[in-house]
Structure formats: structure tokens, C-alpha cells
Chains A and B, each alone.
Chain A
């Protein structure tokens, strides 16, 4: 089985965009091919990570549309939908296509167009992933976060401000990212005084609704040097699920899919949590950063919040987390988010992250779908 390399990456500006999903996907796809210096007709497989273009704007069949727009016909195409972890699942699919020998050049583009919908409508499209016994009660993903945050703070005697510090950190990182939706620093007081959305969580504990896209280009590692001197190798990848019905989990503060996908990725890469230099975690809600830190063994159970005061996860800390600004600051265009996590890790391990650059050879991206319902974890190592 050949090692799989990432030889190109791109992402559009995240935020409120005038363009629709087809154009967003084409923008990132074209930029990614340009970044790697690869012609469109070299693409053998083309995957599109997207959760809900049909529901959001009535546009289906986006992979084929993208192949045509990029002049990548007759590339094989497929849409990868794993709700919010569609991007991570796309990395998994792209890795499989190269590792299996089915493709020698795979382009992955993730994208979503959401901001033309009201917050209530967008929230409902996302909440439609829930079981009927959950949906009829008006449950939303933010309300799952409120339920879990209350339990976490109570069980582990964690101060409410520790969650606010996640938002403050990620906004500070996002301020250095020209692609981020919010390039603005905030303080703890701003978070703590913002409106309550799902008690005890407030407005600044949540990611925004976002338009945007991102792309990665994959080929066998043995051929990577034909295109570039600096690339990344996908050294580990894992994917797993947890219960569809969230309340059926024995421990609501443990995300089983994070634990299992992380274990698989570590094992495949032959590394452990201490070997990770930088990580992108799915901070759709601030509480999720703690749950993933613990699920991936970056911190003991119930103690991730203590790392906020130690500065461990800051840009100059021992393990920088969400150097991109995370979903919290960079934005969360559903299908694009996991690909954009991969973009950030690729940039970090190839030494091209600009103002956000940290000392990193090995990076990890954890992309969460639903409320931990399905998770993909990828580990990338730089080759320079």
C-alpha cells in the first residue's frame, strides 16, 4: 500500500459570500490545482465534501458540475456527505483512492453555501440529522452543546470562564488568518456578557454560519517530488461512529467516535498524543475542544479545561490547538470545514502557515459530525 501525499492546498475566504456552492467549489478547486502546478486533466478522482447543497440552495449533483467547471472530465466523481465531518470523510476517501491504487491523482474539494438562509433555517437543516424522538422536541446541535457543557462544568468543577478562554484563544488565532470569517480578537468579558444561546453557553461559544470552500490534492508519496519539494504525508487516518441518538451514550462527556478514530490514526501513524506538534479540533462549540482534547489523550478526562490557564494550547504553547482560528473564528461551512482543517495542518507541517506558523513536523485534524455521531481523525507529517 503506497504512502499518500498531499501536494497542494487552497481555501477561499470564509464568511458571507455572494457566490453559490458551484462557484465556491470551483474557486478552491482551481486554486488548489494551481498551487500544485497540476493540470485539470491529470485528476483521476474528484471528491466533493458537502452536507446539504440540495437543502440549502436546491443544487444537487455538485461533483459532476465541478468536474465540468474545472475541465477535469472524465474524472471519476463522488459526493461525500458525513454531515459536519464531510470534509474529514473526504480526506479519508481521497486517502483510500490513492492508497488502494485506484487513482494516482485525487482532488478533494469541500464547500457549503449557508448564509442566505436565516439562522433558524440553517439550524434546522443541520438538526435534521437527529432521530425523530430528538427532532420533535426541537433539539438543535447548539442545545446538545448546552446540555453537555452543563454536565461537564458540574462533573469536573470547571469554571465557566474556561470555555470562554477557548473562544478568546481561537479568535486571537483567527485574527492572524486572512481566510477567517472573524479576524477580530475578543476578551473573556465579551464572551461572558454575550447573549445566552443554550444555557450555560453564550453567543461567543458558538461558531458562525459560513460560506466557503477548501481543497487538497493527493497523489502517491513516491510521485510527490515530481510536483513539489515540500509536501505532507497522510501517515495516519481513522474514522468511527458513536450512537445516532445522543442521550443513549453511557457517558455524555465522552465522544466515542473521537476516541476510536484517534486510536486508529495514532496506531496507523505509529505515533501517540505526545508526538503531535499541532492540532485542529472541531470547535463548533467551545465545549467540543475540551471533549476532543480528552478523547485524543491530549489531557486526562475532566482536565482539559486546566490547560487553558497553563497556555498549553496557545500559539506559543506546548500543543497549539486551532492555529487557524478553528471553526469558532475561521467559520464553519459544513462540508468545507474538515478540508480546511487539513489545509491548516498541511500549511503548518510544510512550514507555510505565515503569521500562524508554529514549530511542527506532525499535525492532527479531528473532524466531528453531528454531536460526535461520526468522526474522522487524520495525522499528517511534513516532508521538506
Chain B
């Protein structure tokens, strides 16, 4: 399992990847963000979660620095004890929410991924 981001011809990186990058160019490489640490841009604790989602659900938008190129991602936190600017690292989780409990077709997407844990 990797946290795969796409690098495009102009050097920009997005997570998730897209068939066409922000500048209109095609992806040329992938980057595994799970090998990097990130900084918390903002966070929240959600106390009203949909079916199949843990409650409370700690969430953050984080920013990775991939050799000078910023890349943002959103994901669950392992704790609600964080603040803006804290350093975090991705930690693998086999099942982030219960497949099939919500409206989305279980086979239409992956359900594992990475939570962010304070370093």
C-alpha cells in the first residue's frame, strides 16, 4: 500500500492524481507520500458522522514538502490532540470506514489508507 501522488510535467504534484494535471499536462511520475512527514494546515473533530464512520472522527488537511514542492492531503488523525503547524506522519490503516455501511458501492473504491499521527 502506498499513498500515491502524481507528478506532472511542470513539476507540480497532486494527491490524488488526475489524468491531467493543474497546468494541463499529463502525469510523468508517481510519488509515495507515505515516506514523507507533513504539517497540519487545519483540523477538526467531527461528532456527527455518517454510517460506518468512527465517532468522533478527527480529520486534518496536511501539507507535505516533497523536495521543495508542496502537496496537500486530507485524512483522519490518530488523535484529536493536535494543532495547526504540528508535524505528522502517515500511519497505515486497513479500514478507514466500514465498506457498505454508507451509500457508496463497496466495490467502487478502496477503503484502506493512511491516518496522520503526530511525530
Binding-face segment, A77-85, A195-203, A306-314, A331-339 = A195-203
| CA A139 to CA B61, docked complex, whole Å | 11
User: Would B97 and A252 count as touching, CB distance under 8 A?
Assistant: no
> Hey, which chain A residues are within 8 Å of B37, CB to CB?
none
> Chain A CB within 10 Å — which of B50, B61, B109, B111 has the most?
B50
- CB-CB < 8 A to A139: which residues of B? 59, 74
The answer, yes or no, to whether A124 is at the interface (CB within 8 Å) is yes
Q: Is the CB of A199 within 8 A of B45?
A: yes
Count chain A residues whose beta carbon lies closer than 8 angstroms to a beta carbon of B: 39
- B16 close to chain A: CB less than 8 A: yes
Quote the shortest CB–CB distance from B56 to chain A (angstroms).
Answer: 9
Q: Main SS of the interface on chain A?
A: helix
Q: Given A128-B104, A136-B109 in contact, is the A195-B47 Cβ separation under 8 Å? A: yes
Interface presence of A299 (CB below 8 A): no
> Which of A145-153, A160-168, A170-178 faces chain B?
A145-153
Q: Does B1 contact A (CB under 8 A)?
A: no
Q: Is the CB of B50 within 8 A of A123?
A: yes
Among B44, B52, B80, the residue within 8 A (CB) of A143 is B44
B92 an interface residue at 8 Å Cβ cutoff? no
A134 to B53, CA, bound (A): 12
Contacts of A245 in B (CB 8 A): 14, 16
Given contacts A147-B61, A150-B42, A247-B73, is CB(A140)–CB(B96) below 8 Å?
no
Binary CB contact string for chain B from 77 to 119 against chain A (1 if under 8 A, 0 otherwise): 0001000100000000000110000111000111101000000
Q: Are A55 and B103 in contact (CB under 8 A)?
A: yes
Q: Which residues of A contact B (CB under 8 A)?
A: 55, 119-121, 123-125, 127-128, 131-140, 142-143, 146-148, 150-151, 154, 195-201, 245-248, 252
Q: Can you give 7 A-B contacts (C-beta < 8 A)?
A: A120-B50, A121-B103, A125-B103, A137-B76, A140-B50, A198-B47, A247-B61
